[in-house]
Amino acid sequence: MLDVKKIKRDFPILNHYIDGKPLVYLDNAATTQKPKVVIDAISNFYENYNANIHRGIHTLSQKATIAYEETRLNVQKFINAKSYQEIIFTRNTTESINLVAYSWARHNLKAGDEILLSQMEHHANLIPWYELAKEKQITLKYIPLTNDFRLDLSNIDNLLTPQTKLVSLTLMSNVLGTINDLTSIIQKAHALGALVLIDAAQAIAHMPIDVQKLNCDFLAFSFHKILGPTGVGVLWGRQKLLTDMPPFLTGGNMIASVYTDRATFNELPYKFEAGTPDIANVIASNEALNYLNAIGYADIMAHEKCLTAYALDILVKQENIILYGPNNTINRGSVISFNLNQIHPHDLGQVINDSGIAVRAGHHCCQPLMRQFNITGTIRASLYIYNDEADIDILAKTLQSAYKVMGHVVTR
């Protein structure tokens, strides 16, 4: 099991006080806090070897280049990619998905083709496809949800058709906590010749990811959700696919030879990294991986399972609570969404915040899912390696005061 006390000491912000109260940070699905090693890696870069990379012969530039590429090699290992050439650095998951939409989909899909999504997707895995669908007369289809907030695969053989060219799904819902077993969908999609993109923005924080075992075709995630800095995302893609795709953003670094009217492109992955990248943050991201690797996913998962069970157990007992998400910890991560009857999530979020607890209130970039539930938003408490049972207890206690603060008569 995790030594949470020890872990907390690695995160400077958790040892500070916010408005005079110790911070209870339960907004990890939005972004995680950063350990000192990550923060220090950024200063260390700027104070000791800051330089632009890839084309500089001078010592600083070489050091920076080596460190930047070291992160890429570590990412390759982290998700078990076949080659470092399959690892592309972007700004975030959103840009990674847009890259696939602009470069692969825009050049390979045509009117009448279909893309299969699900009803629990994040806007990042919806709007790029809406825009494409409008432009190209592509049909979007959705895997619906079951009553216990999981993908309803009962009709999957009708949803997948020979016209399906892409299946783009989240591996873990950032609202419901649901972890999707995508094995059979991926098999079926491939059997029909469709590609599969996995939005791993949430999943990557909570479970080990092996792209070869998953057998997907693209996978996207952001470092800021796994203890790393903001500004760094990853797109992984099969080398064959990436090789055949045209570049997306163009400019310096992604070229081989430039003439006055045309250019030839650099080899992978540089073909997809135009201009000066977020060098310091890519380098610091390596420390996030090292930190996670040192703890190990086995312990992370065990810790989260216990803590989620504890939280569900306590929350379900709150008066007038409505929970959105599986009520057990099987294939379920530590993201817990709920509402108190009659209280708008913004108001509840404010009441919770006033106790020094950071939760998220709103639609969590999943408006279609909210519409489905006929609500505008939820409160979302999302737990990570530095949270413990005391954090849940404080949250529960605060909930009990909400009706009083909001001037409601509590009705059972």
Partner 1 sequence: MSLQDELYKETILDHYHCPRNHGVISGATLKQEGTNPLCGDELTLYIKLNNDTIEDIKIEAKGCSISMASSSMMTEAIIGQKIKNAQIIAHNFKDMMLNKGNDYVFNETNEDLNSLNGVKKYPVRIKCALLAWNTLLQSLEKDEAKAQGE
Ligand X SMILES: Cc1ncc(COP(=O)(O)O)c(C=O)c1O
For the annotated catalytic residues, the residue numbers are 365
Residue list 259-288, contact with ligand X (CB under 6 A): 275-276
CA 206, 306, 372, 346 torsion: positive or negative?
Answer: negative
CA separation for the pair 185, 188 (Å, rounded): 5
Residue list 225-254, contact with ligand X (CB under 6 A): 252
The binding track of 41-60 with respect to its own copies, each residue x by CB under 8 A or -, is -xx--xxxxxxx--xxxxxx
Q: Does the protein bind ligand X through residue 382 (CB under 6 A)?
A: no
Token pair belonging to 212: 């070869």
Token pair belonging to 346: 């913004």
> Smallest Cα–Cα separation from 352: which of 3, 4, 27, 2?
27
Nearer to ligand X, 23 or 279 (CB): 279
Token pair belonging to 79: 């998700």
CA separation for the pair 150, 203 (Å, rounded): 15
Residue list 132-191, contact with its own copies (CB under 8 A): 133-134, 140, 142
How remote is the C-alpha of 53 from its chain's centroid? 27
Environment class of residue 366 by beta-carbon count within 10 Å: exposed (0-12), middle (13-18) or buried (19+)? Answer: buried
The binding track of 5-44 with respect to partner 1, each residue x by CB under 8 A or -, is ----------------------------------------
Stretch in the footprint of ligand X (CB under 6 A) among 7-15, 197-205, 320-328, 385-393: 197-205
Q: Does the protein bind ligand X through residue 222 (CB under 6 A)?
A: yes
Buried b (16+ CB within 10 A) or exposed e, 114-152: bbbbbbbbbebbbbbbeebbeeeebeebbbebeeebbbe
Which residue of 66, 73, 192, 410 would you call a contact of partner 1, by CB under 8 A? Answer: 66
The strand order across the sheet containing 360-362 reads: 321-324, 335-340, 378-382, 360-362
Which residue of 28, 33, 65, 281 would you call a contact of partner 1, by CB under 8 A? Answer: 65
Beta-carbon-side half-sphere exposure of residue 54 (alpha carbons within 13 Å): 17
CA separation for the pair 141, 119 (Å, rounded): 9
Nearer to its own copies, 80 or 367 (CB): 367
Which residue of 4, 37, 249, 309 would you call a contact of its own copies, by CB under 8 A? Answer: 249
Q: Does the protein bind partner 1 through residue 345 (CB under 8 A)?
A: yes
Nearer to its own copies, 186 or 237 (CB): 237
Nearer to partner 1, 69 or 131 (CB): 69
Please work out the total of residues on this chain that contact ligand X, with binding judged by CB under 6 A: 17
Strands 360-362 and 378-382: antiparallel
Please state the closest distance from residue 28 (CB atom) to ligand X, in A. Answer: 11
Which residue of 122, 150, 165, 271 would you call a contact of ligand X, by CB under 6 A? Answer: 122
The number of helix segments (H) and strand segments (E) in the chain equals 16, 17
Token pair belonging to 208: 């080990």
Q: Which partner from the list ligand X, its own copies, partner 1, none does 406 bind, CB cut-off 5 to 8 Å by kind?
A: partner 1
Q: Which 8-state DSSP code applies to residue 183?
A: H
Beta partners for 219?
198, 236
Q: Which partner from the list ligand X, its own copies, partner 1, none does 75 bind, CB cut-off 5 to 8 Å by kind?
A: none
Q: Which partner from the list ligand X, partner 1, its own copies, none does 170 bind, CB cut-off 5 to 8 Å by kind?
A: ligand X
CA separation for the pair 171, 179 (Å, rounded): 6
- The footprint of partner 1 (CB under 8 A) covers 54-57, 61-62, 65-66, 255-257, 264, 266-267, 270, 344-347, 350-351, 353-354, 361-363, 367, 370, 376-377, 405-408
